[in-house]
Amino acid sequence: MIVDTSAVIAILFFEPEADEFFDHLASERAVMSAASYVECSVVTDRATTDRFRRPVNPSDLRAYTRRAVDRIVTDLDILISPVTREQADLARTAHRLYGAGSGSPARLNFGDCFSYALAKDTDQPLLYKGTDFDHTDVRIFRR
């Protein structure tokens, strides 16, 4: 299964789907695009302390969230896959067809395009939160 940033972030911030996503990732072989792995840090760097259920010192927040992402990836044995030329081309196509501003209801962002590309390139289902990918032709991991 391919893991989108949104699934890792849901676990990190204890969102309603967190346990379900954790269980799926713990029981399946999971792969994440290197671009999505970077996107996890981009998202968590913008996080505020109110997203956590435990006290986090605001000055330590970025270091805490990066360690937390790394721990999730390590503990769940998520493989980080380098972006190939083929995947870069698929991501470009995904943005043209489904990206924000394309007119598609998917409105994929930059990171979403790389999750899409890895899923298409490997013909693996994609685990994600939300409905963005429902409006694409990517295989969806049915929960």
pLDDT tens, residue by residue, 41-60? 889 887 765 666 555 666 67
Per the structure, the complete domain to which residue 73 belongs is given by 2-81
Q: Which of 1-10, 30-39, 46-55, 120-129 has the weakest average pLDDT?
A: 46-55
- The span from the CA of 12 to the CA of 16, in Å, is 11
Query: Does residue 93 sit in the same domain as residue 66?
Result: no
- Asked if residues 72 and 12 have their Cβ atoms less than 8 Å apart, the reply is yes
| pLDDT, tens digit, 9 for 90 and up, residues 76-123 | 999 999 999 999 999 999 999 999 999 999 999 999 999 999 999 999
Is residue 49 assigned to a domain? yes
- Which residues make up each annotated binding site for Mg(2+)? 4, 112
Give the position of tokens 């395009």.
113
Between 56 and 137, residue with greater pLDDT: 137
Angle subtended at Cα 36 by Cα 114 and Cα 18, rounded to the nearest 5 degrees: 120
pTM of the model: 0.90
Is residue 141 assigned to a domain? no
Structural domains of the chain, count: 2
Is residue 143 assigned to a domain? no
133 is written with which tokens? 């990918």
Give the per-residue pLDDT at 66. Answer: 86
Query: Does residue 72 sit in the same domain as residue 130?
Result: no
Is residue 142 assigned to a domain? no
Give the per-residue pLDDT at 55. Answer: 59
Query: Does residue 75 sit in the same domain as residue 116?
Result: no
Query: Does residue 15 sit in the same domain as residue 70?
Result: yes
- Which residues make up each annotated binding site? 4, 112
Is residue 106 assigned to a domain? yes
Is residue 118 assigned to a domain? yes
Using the 3D structure, point to which of 60, 81, 102 is the last residue of a domain: 81
pLDDT at 5 over 80: yes
Query: Does residue 107 sit in the same domain as residue 72?
Result: no
Please, what is the average pLDDT of the chain? Answer: 92
